[in-house]
Amino acid sequence: MALCSLAGLARFCSVASLLVTLVASAMNAQAAANCDGGTADNCLVIGDKYRDGVDVAKDPARAAALYQTACDAGVLAACNRLGALYERQDAARAVALYRKACEGGDPYGCVNLGRAYWVGFGVAANTNQAVALFQKACEGGGLPGCTNLGLVYLGGEGVAADTARAVALFQKACDGADLDGCNSLGIV
C-alpha cells in the first residue's frame, strides 16, 4: 500500500494487517467448528479454502475430507467438487459423485457428468446422454453446460449441426459471464 509507506502510518498498517489476519483466522476456526458441529455448508466453504490454499496451507486431502462430510450431509456442490478431486485417481468414483450431485439438482454436477459422457471419461461415451445432461445443466443455471451444448450443436456431434442454436447457447453462457461461452461466441 502506498498509503502505508507514509511516515507515521506504517505502524498503523502493520497493526491493521495483524487484525485482519487474526479475524480471518478466527472466522476459519469458527467455520471449521461449525463443520465439525454439523453445519455442512461450512464444510464446503472450508474445503474450498484447503483446495485453493486461501487463508490456510493448500491441502487437497483435507479438502476432500471436508467435501466428503458435506456431501454425506446432502450439500450437492460438495459432491461435485469432491468428484473433481477424484478425476485423476478414480474416474468411476468421480462419475458417481457427479451423478449424485446432478440427480440432486446441482447443475455443475450435470455439467461434469455430461462432460464424462461426452468424452467417455469413467463411462462409455454417449453423446445423447451428454446432450441431455448439458441441457439440464444449462436450464438449471450451469452456464458451462450451455457452452458445451453449443459446442455439440456447432460440431454436429451426435445431433444435427445447428449454428444458430449454438450461437444462442454461447450467448446465454456469455451473458451469464461464462468466459468459455464468450470465447466460443467470438469464434463462430
Mean pLDDT of the chain: 86
User: 103: Cβ–Cβ under 8 A, 6 or more apart, which residues?
Assistant: 109
According to the model, what pLDDT value does residue 18 have?
40
According to the model, what pLDDT value does residue 27 have?
42
Q: How does residue 7 score in pLDDT terms, banded at 50, 70 and 90?
A: low
Residue with cell 498509503: 3
For residue 97, which amino acid is it? L
Q: How does residue 35 score in pLDDT terms, banded at 50, 70 and 90?
A: confident
Look up residue 78 and give its three cell numbers: 460438495
> Within 10 Å of residue 89's Cβ, how many Cβ atoms?
8
Q: Which domains does the chain have, with CATH numbers?
A: 107-188 (1.25.40.10)
User: 3: Cβ–Cβ under 8 A, 6 or more apart, which residues?
Assistant: 9, 13
According to the model, what pLDDT value does residue 36 have?
62
The predicted-structure confidence for 66-90, as pLDDT tens digits, reads as follows 999 999 999 999 999 999 999 999 9
Look up residue 64 and give its three cell numbers: 476432500
Q: Taking CA 101 as the corner, what is the angle to CA 96 and CA 104, rounded to the nearest 5 degrees?
A: 120
Q: Is the pLDDT of residue 14 over 60?
A: no
According to the model, what pLDDT value does residue 38 have?
62
Largest separation between any pair of C-alpha atoms in the chain: 69
* Cα–Cα distance measured from residue 181 to residue 108, given in angstroms and rounded to the nearest whole number: 15
> Within 10 Å of residue 92's Cβ, how many Cβ atoms?
10
* Cα–Cα distance measured from residue 38 to residue 61, given in angstroms and rounded to the nearest whole number: 20
**What sign has the CA pseudo-torsion 102, 105, 107, 109?**
negative
19, 25 contact by CB (below 8 A): no
Q: Is the pLDDT of residue 110 over 80?
A: yes
